[in-house]
Structure 1
Amino acid sequence: MPAKLLDNPLVVSVLGRLMEQPAHPYQLLTELRSRSEHYASAVNRGTLYNVVSAVVEQGWAVEEGQQRSGNRPERTVYALTPAGSAELVRRLDHEIRHPARGFTGFLGAIAYLGALGPDGALDALSERIERLRERSEEDGRLLAEVHAEGVPRLYVIEAEYALAQDRSEIAWLESIRAEIAEGTLSWPGHEEVSD
């Protein structure tokens, strides 16, 4: 198993989910996808199964038995080991203490915002702001529902963090959009934005 596979952020998710209760890989896949749109778009079956294999190979999880549901094939259920629990705590502690810069598609794109020209940039930023507002309103509504159902805040704190990130990004984007519209963000090679 390639060592780089152990650097995959899914390792923490798999160990964390196994901390809750033993599960088979397909169950892990469906539950992680259902918990967050971030997982839904980022987790594919092959990668998850490879991460589970790597976690088992490291001794962080062990086979606990087989499970069959209806006519489906038997699935191997895995449980977290004490070594896996210790590794989860070590990784969580490190990730929380040490902020890391991640490179996203948006970060790469915003670096070349100037290529759109002022009008194109205003249009693109306005659409992104609107999409983020819609998403944050929906996420805020869902979070409020979960809290109203009595789910402890700590169980959904990652959703709260994602919502705060979206709201912060909206505020930043609005300030950049205002600077472009007011002509205070210099735009080499372009005339001022028309009103």
Structure 2
Amino acid sequence: MKRRVVGNPLGLAVLAGLLEEPMHPYEMARRFVEYGKERDFKYTRSSLYMVVGQLEKAGFIAARETLRDSARPERTVYAITPTGRLELFDWMRELVAEPATEYPLFGAALSLFVVLPVDEVHELLLQRLAALTAIADEIRATIDAGREQGLAWWFLVEEDYRLTKVEAERGFVERLAESVAGEDYRQAWETYFKGRT
């Protein structure tokens, strides 16, 4: 993966949003929520303004005008620059084509879960399984609602991806919980940790 001048994925969302039309950060945040993008990009108001500042400094966006309204603070409207367009398309091509190594917290926990007692880890896995089931149900409801509104599949593709990942993890956790509950794992764990806990 190429090292980016602005490497925060939120910058990608800002560039893509400004491809639609120039806008101020408050409007960007409003649209993220309206389009459900807050599930794809972790941000706060301050982090959004920070990324906007980084993109402007890098020359990827430029201030177009400042709106003054006595009822609200000044709002600077930004537009994507030609350099920003090139960055957006190059970054998107890279992310779509090249798998990247990610370090999810659950992966870290799996690499160390043997430190927990057998019955406890089994119970925790069952809790995770219930949580994943609830998440999958919520994603399905979002997809169904979008389809009922007549949204084309490409507007729901990130939800479909989330559902695929959650279902895959759910299947894995279900199998792991069964394995942990097996007598062979219990005996191996007790033999290994005898006298260590």
Tell me whether the two structures share a fold, i.e. TM-score over 0.5: yes
Cα offset, 1:104, TM superposition: 2.3
User: Which ranges of structure 2 fall in alignment gaps of 5 or more residues?
Assistant: 192-197
What CA RMSD, in Å, does the superposition of the two structures yield over aligned residues? 2.3
Amino acid at match of 1:174: E
Q: 1:25 touches 1:49 (CA, 8 Å); kept in 2? A: yes
Cα offset, 1:30, TM superposition: 3.6
Q: Percent identity?
A: 26
Q: Kindly tell me the number of residue pairs found equivalent between the two proteins.
A: 188
2:175 aligned residue: 175
1:25 aligned residue: 25
Alignment partners' CA distance in 2, 1:144 and 1:118: 39
* 1:156-195 equivalence runs, <5 A: 156-185=156-185, 188-190=188-190
Alignment partners' CA distance in 2, 1:78 and 1:163: 34
* 1:103-182 equivalence runs, <5 A: 103-182=103-182
Alignment partners' CA distance in 1, 2:125 and 2:154: 33
Which secondary structure state, in structure 2, belongs to the residue aligned with residue 77 of structure 1?
strand
Alignment partners' CA distance in 1, 2:64 and 2:50: 18
Q: Mean alpha-carbon deviation: is it higher for 130-139 or for 11-20?
A: 11-20
Tell me the TM-score normalised to structure 2 length.
Answer: 0.84
1:97 aligned residue: 97
Q: Mean alpha-carbon deviation: is it higher for 55-64 or for 88-97?
A: 55-64
Structure 1 runs of 4+ with >6 Å offset: none
Q: Mean alpha-carbon deviation: is it higher for 58-67 or for 168-177?
A: 58-67
**1:6 equivalenced with 2:6 (yes/no):** yes
Q: 2:140 touches 2:163 (CA, 8 Å); kept in 1? A: yes
Cα offset, 1:70, TM superposition: 7.2
Alignment partners' CA distance in 2, 1:176 and 1:108: 15
Q: Mean alpha-carbon deviation: is it higher for 105-114 or for 181-190?
A: 181-190
User: Which ranges of structure 1 fall in alignment gaps of 5 or more residues?
Assistant: none
Distance change in 2, residues 1:59/1:4 (3 Å): closer
Tell me the TM-score normalised to structure 1 length.
Answer: 0.85
Cα offset, 1:65, TM superposition: 1.7
Amino acid at match of 2:45: R
